[in-house]
Amino acid sequence: MIVFLPRPVKKNFRKIQIWQRLRTITPPLNPRRIVLASSSPYRRALLDRLRLPFEVHAPAVDESALPREPTRKTALRLAQAKARAAAPSYPGALIIGCDQVAELEGKALGKPGSHDNAVAQLKDMRGKDVVFHTALALLNAESGALQTAEVPTTVRFRNCSDREIEHYLELERPYDCTGSAKIEGLGIVLVERVTSDDPSALIGLPLMSLAAMLRKEGVALV
């Protein structure tokens, strides 16, 4: 005897097959709420690479350096301050704080904010090594546990001409970037060499360190 399955059963069977296939390629769901305490679009784009749902919070933190404070410590202090500033608004969440301070011959470099400042920075940096101190803090707002890391990146800038500097700034206008150059964009042509343990650190968020911290908090990444 031949039995024909009703069409609805075939459709349901097909749905089950699709669902089972999706289960094999979809990352595990994480119940933890993740917050990026930064208004930087560059850090947001980097965090997107981990394919985790997250929220963004712009913390109100005074980013001024303290007197005689080493640049590395400034970055670490501000990364922690940003994470802690967001904590009251997100109880129970995992909060990511970040900061970056560039150092040239012992002098801290910030975001230029204007064309003239960017020109001055790039002229000062040409032919020299600049160390970008990128700090990361992951705060568990429920337990209070705090993990921190600082990933330095040494960038050797080319001895660019005044014309090259002006032309680059006209094209990319990186006035919101520490060091006046977008290394992930056209700014790469101003650079001779980059030395770092994590290539994402220079853009503003060291993903290798962050991934290790998230795993320690029980977040499944793959």
* Residues with active-site annotation: 99
* Torsion angle of C-alpha atoms 46, 49, 50, 52, degrees rounded to 10: 90
Q: Residue 61: which of 114, 99, 102 has the closest Cα?
A: 99
Which tokens is 172 given?
């990319």
- In whole angstroms, give the CA distance from residue 186 to residue 173: 10
CA-based end-to-end distance of the chain: 48
Please report the DSSP string for 55-71 in residue order.
EE-------PPPTT--H
H-helix or E-strand spanning residue 216: helix 207-216
Closest CA to 176 of 125, 130, 114: 114
